[in-house]
Amino acid sequence: MNPIRRALQTEMEMRLKPQKVLLLFGARRVGKTVLVEHIMRDFSGKTLLLNGESMDTIRLLEDRSTSNYRQLFTGIDLLCIDEAQHIPGIGMKLKLIIDEVAGLRVIATGSSSFELLNMAGEPLVGRSTQFLLTPFSIRELVDGTSRIEYMQQMEHRIVYGHYPELESIENEKLKQEYLNDVVDAYLLRDILAFDGLKHAQKMHDLLRLVSFQTGSEVSLDELGSQLSLSRNTVERYLDLLQKAFVLFRIGGFSRNLRKEVSKSSKWFFYDTGIRNAVIRDYRPYRLRPDAERGALWENYFVSDRLKRSHNQRLGGNFYFWRTYDQQEIDLIEEQDGMLTAIEMKSGSKRPSVPKAFAKAYPDAVFSVLNADNFMDFV
């Protein structure tokens, strides 16, 4: 099949300017290297790609001097450094490179924001733009194949997710092995390598507990009790899972209406295939209980709205909404002061807007995303 063009390619190409660095983050295996290679292929100037995991690259950049970097990169129009977080002092080195080599543009990728951003963030203030690459969005798949083909595969994709390499794997057993390997050998390895984290089993158990609470409010105290961990440790582990792009959090929305719940959180997976791999559950979507189908459906589309926001550089904030008397809305999107409320139903139901929400936020747009109209939301 033809490669699916990533939505971020256009956004990044628009921002490729001399003396600027584009920082591309994303979990392992989501296609960062392929995206960079496509940008380099379409770029009209001279390009150079370095692998940050290679000792040759580390030695090449070790001498942090103007003379070394001018000798290496003069005449290069676009320098790309893959997995740049492995290079010691990468932030200061990138700053010196773009300050001293005229006309140079730089793209640096990293699998974990806690490493690359910590090292590159401060030295590159005012010199860099950040991007997040996720597994495929629904829109990318539809544009890269066809709407009909996507519709035929949607329930399968809810189970197996949108990791790019799955597009070339047809055998379900091999897909399961691939996803299991991504979880065990890549995602968790990156997290456990950070800051000498030792409790691999606790991290995996935490992910399992969150998997079973997808779409539900999560109590950190309850998680800590089940795992025999302190609340602070649970908080730290969840923060690492966010920074490794495994999970993301949405909080409760409130503008101080007394009945609104605002201190709770829901946790979602960036990819439902990873969620199912964590608990090794690849049952077909239709064979799952109604509650689990609803939770998977909600995660699938909440994550897609987040991908849409990243891919289109929309910004904004994401919340859920609930009152203490159990009126609720799955997703609230806040952008430029405007509210969009989306209720997500896996069937064809069209519930009306909760009365308390309509009264408190009369200018908000309320919509129901369901099996009939979800394409309008991607």
pLDDT value at position 141? 96
Residues 6+ apart with CB under 8 A from 335: 314, 315, 316, 317
Report how far residue 158's alpha carbon sits from residue 65's, in angstroms, rounded to the nearest whole number: 50
What's residue 193's pLDDT?
67
Q: Residue 169, class by beta-carbon neighbours within 10 Å (0-12 exposed, 13-18 middle, 19+ buried)?
A: middle
* Cα distance between residue 134 and residue 311, in whole Å: 9
Give the integer Cα–Cα distance in Å for 98 and 100. Answer: 6
Work out the angle at residue 52's Cα, subtended by the Cα atoms of residues 1 and 34, and round it to the nearest 5 degrees. 10
Spell out, as residue ranges, where the chain has pLDDT lower than 70. Answer: 1-2, 112-121, 190, 193-199, 256-258, 260, 262
What is the full DSSP assignment across 23-37?
A: EEE--TTSSHHHHHH
DSSP bridge pairs for 369 = 344
Residue 201's pLDDT is what? 82
Convert the pLDDT of each residue in 134-164 to its tens digit: 999 999 999 998 999 999 999 999 999 999 9
Check residue 44 and report its DSSP letter.
S
**CB-CB contact of 82 with 70 (8 Å):** no
pLDDT tens across 31-84, in order? Answer: 999 999 999 999 999 999 999 999 999 999 999 999 999 999 999 999 999 999
d(CA 167, CA 38): 18
HSE-up (13 A, CA, CB side) for residue 156: 14
Task: Supply angle C-alpha 63, 64, 69, rounded to 5.
Answer: 90
